[in-house]
Amino acid sequence: MNKTQLIAQMAEHSELTKKSSQAALQSILAVISKRLSEGDQVPIAGFGTFALSYHPAKAGRNPRTGEEIMIEGANKVQFKPAKALKSALAE
């Protein structure tokens, strides 16, 4: 499912227009992004929690040349599903 399809599904399952659904989705994504960039977790009850996870620098290899390189450390977004979501998917 891509973003356009998600917006269409949101409009279909709510009383919102596609334009309003797009605005709502953009707002939600902006808030999640802002909170993560500030180092906060974003828990959504019944769905799950978005959080940052730091991956430290490590040695790696250039697959083309085999040369050893240093891969910089980075923050990565991690999602932990809630029990309700896990059980809904297991059915």
Structural domain range at position 66: 41-91
**How many other C-beta atoms lie within 10 A of the C-beta of residue 36?**
17
- Residue 45 one-letter amino acid: A
Q: Please check whether residue 49 is in contact with residue 41, taking contact to mean a CB–CB distance below 8 angstroms.
A: yes
pLDDT tens sequence across 20-59: 999 999 999 999 999 999 999 999 999 999 999 999 999 9
Task: State the average pLDDT for the chain.
Answer: 94
pLDDT tens sequence across 5-25: 999 999 999 989 999 999 999
Tell whether 53 and 29 lie within a shared domain.
Answer: no
pLDDT tens sequence across 59-68: 999 999 999 9
Instruction: Give the number of domains in the chain.
Output: 2
What pLDDT score was predicted for residue 23? 96
Predicted TM-score (pTM) above 0.85: no
Residue 91 has pLDDT above 80, yes or no: no
Tell whether 22 and 51 lie within a shared domain.
Answer: no
Tell whether 27 and 66 lie within a shared domain.
Answer: no
How far apart (Å, rounded) are the C-alpha atoms in residues 47 and 4?
A: 21
**How many other C-beta atoms lie within 10 A of the C-beta of residue 11?**
17
Helices 18-37, 3-12: axis angle to 10 degrees equals 120
